[in-house]
Amino acid sequence: MSATGFRIDLHVHSKHSTRPSQWILQKLGCSESYTEPQNIYRLLRARGMDLVTITDHNTLAGALEIAHLPGAFVSEEITTYFPGDRCKLHVLVYGVTEAQHRDFQELRENVFELLPYLRENGIAHVLAHPLFAVNERLTPEHFEQCLVLFNTFELNGTRDALQNTVLKEIITGLTRPGLERLADRHGLEPWGDTPWVKGFTGGSDDHSGLNVARMHTRFPGPADLESVLGGLRGRLGEPLGTAATPMTMAHNIYSIAYQFYKNRVPMPGAAADIPALRFADQALDPSEETPAPGLLARVQSFFNRRKSALYLRWATGGEAHQVLLKEAAAIVGADQGFQAVSRGEVRDMALMENEWYRFVSRATDRVLSQFADRILTSLLQARLFDVFHTIGSAASLYALLAPYFVSFGLFASERAFCDRCLAAFGEKPRHPRKEGLAIAHFTDTFREVNGVARTIRQQLTLVGRHDKHMRVITCGQDAPADMAGVADFEPVGAFEIPVYPQLQLFYPPFLKMLAHCFEEDFDLLLAATPGPVGLAALAIARILKTPIHATYHTAFPQYVAALTRDTNLEDAAWRYMLWFYNQMDVVYAPSRATVDELVARGIPEHKVKTYPRGVDVTHFHPSKRNGFLKRYAAGPGLKLLYVGRVSREKDLHVLTEAFRKLRAMRRDLELVVVGDGPYLAEMKQALRGLPACFTGVLEGEDLAAAYASSDIFVFPSATDTFGNVVLEAQASGLPVIVTDRGGPRENIIPDRTGLVVAAGDPDALVRAVIHLADSPERLSLMRENARAGMERRTFDETFLQTWDIYGSSLRAGAA
């Protein structure tokens, strides 16, 4: 016994306690715990509890099984309801009889009938997990009524630390006038001499045997039932221990399901010797003793290993559970921590919980990476049947990940409810972030040279400058570890696009991203790309019930058509894009042309909004004209400039043909190509012997100098949704030539800052260049107009406008 009193876990369950509130267990076919009452007793004693009780839901069966043991007594958890809307409450009652239990069943349908009975009979009672919406009907008004009705409240071991903290802050802040106002508001009568002074208890609320006594209560006095009941009535309990995390709850759900099936479907001898299954047995049901292997056991193990090796060879097919078993065996075999768990050497539940999380995360990441490879390969080869088969097989992984999905989603909902309760008492939200809008910007591209990546990097600079809160979430982008505002996760796999080898899709570690977003508590998830990272954003938003918006930057289906010339793949790309963007609450498009196309394709018009785009008018400036291109052997002629990906979807074959014709007409023209891509070698070959220089990728001051040191910017693309480079060229004092398709034409003033030509027509491009080359006065005027037009589109101004659009869209969606 402790020198200052005794300790007891006042909220723990046995196999007799059903879990109707945890729907995931019902989906898995096991709606109850499977921990024997005697095991609960033994575990509690082993973890230093002086007294033991079991509080199963609406039954005394578990408590009665151990009532004869030293230090045990009978208790129960009663499910009761607010009569108006059937909002559930769980009330813990202690030291009760079988006759009282029968009375509880008569009265528990109405909390206003149950509580008078408990008071009149002197039954010690506590409101369990007061801020947990058991059946999703709890409101701040219900909680206010509970503050009047109950005098003792539980800090719960399966709930978020934030929930327990908020509960304690609200209750300890109660005053007599405050409680009387609540009583008058709800027409209720407080109970007791000082009902504004509340008591607290701690309980683990454990259903699995993994976390008994994780939270418990210390009372003063001798370790007997009368001290417990007296301590509860006198509000003398001192909650001790640690609260849970989503990983804790998920670990419990896995354990309940595992124990349930283990006791109904015995594990065969061969399977029991498979390392991955031994690991699962120790991680999910560690209550059983692990005897030292004797001679007979070692002989049996020898033959089992032979059988298990054969079993693993059978499990090398394409089904998800087979692949998972194979990967799990490899993972456990290669990790010292997992092997220690398998040998029964880990008994600390916090460490066990973390090891199980690591195992599930690593195993599912590897399997999902393999299945993603199969899906993408099948798509590129137009094997649609294989795609559907693979998706159907991989979907079975949902059952493995579902406990984490449920746990993170539940904890996120509870945090939101805590904020609502704090607001009802005039308190600020307890969020681990800055005040104001917090955005997670998900992107598959960050370090590459493209408009999406450059825009996001520029936004990061502006976020710091204007004290906004935005975190870029990406994967496999080699971002410096100390780069502020970027969470760059290590990929679990990658897929190289055969027709575009410079472009890789990286598969993110999904559970790690989910945990990160839960901890950061973002207001809005923003998907910049529809790749694997964008898909992760969508899934995380659904799990955490967070709004998700997306920006439509890239005309991906048109790129597919240009690169593959396969109409079936283009159609498949459109179907995917429409599905992805239709999942979003809001879609931001950079141009009116893009909005019109998305709406025409099937995105609801009310979802699509345009947003402004700016340019760094200080960095890109005519004053940086300095002869920079001489280092690339450029001559003194009139320089045509292209900046961007060197790829066929940019219609650079049109520019190539046009320049060959231009050189036949004008000997003073030169072509400068800045960038890299799959068409580069072919373009160089096509322009061999002509004054065309290829600089490769340029950044920073070199890029600004390349712009300013040229004369005309030529952008033949018909697939771009916006074209950042068109703004950068104009800010550098270059007139631009764009096509009549896509977003770039909306970024110029025709015949003032540039010219618009027919897409895909080399002759139209030739005529536009000749017109400007033959009109030096007009060329000079256009240069001045281009710069003047961009001075009103600064990065800072358009960024702040865009941030306001995000906020207003979020508020409109909430309303």
User: What is the tens place of the pLDDT at every residue in 377-408?
Assistant: 655 555 544 544 445 555 556 667 888 998 99
Which domains are seen in the chain, by residue range?
6-244 (3.20.20.140), 265-395 (no CATH), 432-610 (3.40.50.2000), 622-793 (3.40.50.2000)
Q: What is the Cα–Cα distance from 217 to 8, expressed in whole angstroms?
A: 5
Element (H, E) at 667: none
E strands, 522-595, in order: 524-527, 548-551, 586-589
Which residues of the chain are under the pLDDT cut of 50? 1-2, 20-21, 23-24, 26-27, 31, 270, 289-317, 384-385, 387-390
The tokens for 740 are 């009549």
Q: What is the Cα–Cα distance from 440 to 243, expressed in whole angstroms?
A: 27
Q: What is the Cα–Cα distance from 595 to 241, expressed in whole angstroms?
A: 55
DSSP summary character for residue 87: -
Three-state DSSP state, 583: coil
* Cβ-contact 442, 473 below 8 angstroms: yes
Residue type, 686: A
Q: Is 305 exposed, middle or buried (0-12, 13-18, 19+ CB in 10 A)?
A: middle
- For the four alpha carbons of 645, 648, 654 and 659, in that order, the dihedral sign comes to positive
Find the helix packing angle between 98-107 and 111-120, rounded to 10°.
150
Main-chain phi, psi angles of 283, to 5 degrees = -75, -30
> What CA dihedral angle connects 437, 142, 248 and 287, to 10 degrees?
180
The tokens for 737 are 């030539």
Three-state DSSP state, 154: strand
Three-state DSSP state, 755: strand
pLDDT digits (tens, 9 = 90+) for 49-75: 999 999 999 999 999 999 999 999 999
Main-chain phi, psi angles of 93, to 5 degrees = -125, 145
Hey, how many other C-beta atoms are within 10 angstroms of the C-beta on 604? 10
Pairing mode, strands 669-674 and 692-696: parallel
Q: Which residues pair with 88 in a beta bridge?
A: 81
Find the helix packing angle between 140-149 and 397-424, rounded to 10°.
70
Model pTM?
0.80
Q: Which residues pair with 203 in a beta bridge?
A: 156
Of 286, 212, 526, 252, give the one whose Cα is nearest residue 411.
252
The tokens for 147 are 């503050």
The tokens for 716 are 């033949």
Residue type, 361: S
Distances (CA, A) of 391 to 19, 159, 375, 384: 31, 34, 7, 11
* Cβ-contact 446, 178 below 8 angstroms: no
Of 738, 767, 639, 736, give the one whose Cα is nearest residue 692.
639
* Cβ-contact 287, 35 below 8 angstroms: yes
The tokens for 79 are 């499910």
Find the helix packing angle between 397-424 and 246-262, rounded to 10°.
140
pLDDT digits (tens, 9 = 90+) for 236-267: 999 999 999 999 999 988 888 787 777 766 65
- For the four alpha carbons of 226, 228, 229 and 231, in that order, the dihedral sign comes to positive
Residue type, 26: Q
Q: Is 314 exposed, middle or buried (0-12, 13-18, 19+ CB in 10 A)?
A: exposed
Write the DSSP assignment of 327-340 as a string of letters: HHHHHHHT-HHHHH
Q: What is the Cα–Cα distance from 373 to 380, expressed in whole angstroms?
A: 11
